[in-house]
Amino acid sequence: MQKNGRLRWRPRSEAGASPRTPGYFRTNDEESEMKEETPLWEVFIRPRNGLAHRHVGSVHAADAVLALDAARDVYTRRGEGNSIWVVPSAAITASDPDHADETFDPTADKIYRHPTFYDIPEDVGHM
């Protein structure tokens, strides 16, 4: 345990895994009776040209082609976009929220990276 909001330490190997870690939590102790599970894909949609693809949700599909079809059938029923990306959920590596302090806080005092840090007389005009 560490102070300032660090809640619980978890080993790196687990924390650095994909944001969805199958089997991390089981609702029942018995082994699932289900057979092999259909993989999970993250879906990103570009609403229109000029915008970035944005994460909208997930689908299950056996392969990338079916995942694209499923993403189309599930997430673009109301004209939500003109381009789809699908990425296997297992392929995403996420930063560890337990290490958020050392990952993100060190930038907080580097205010010289922002334009308001510098004093320029108003007479100079917009800069």
Interacting residues toward other proteins by CB under 8 A: 1, 5, 7-8, 10, 15, 19-28, 32-38, 40, 56-63, 65-66, 69-70, 73-74, 77-78, 94, 96-98
* Min separation Cβ 113 and other proteins, Å: 25
* Min separation Cβ 50 and other proteins, Å: 22
* Min separation Cβ 114 and other proteins, Å: 24
Question: Are the C-beta atoms of residues 70 and 89 closer than 8 Å to each other?
Answer: no
From residue 39, alpha-carbon distances to 20, 25, 42, 60, 90 in Å are: 12, 17, 10, 6, 9
Classify 14 as helix, strand or coil.
helix
Q: Distance (Å, rounded) from C-alpha 64 to C-alpha 32?
A: 25
Which of residues 63 and 105 has its CB atom nearest to other proteins in the complex?
Answer: 63
Which of residues 5 and 115 has its CB atom nearest to other proteins in the complex?
Answer: 5
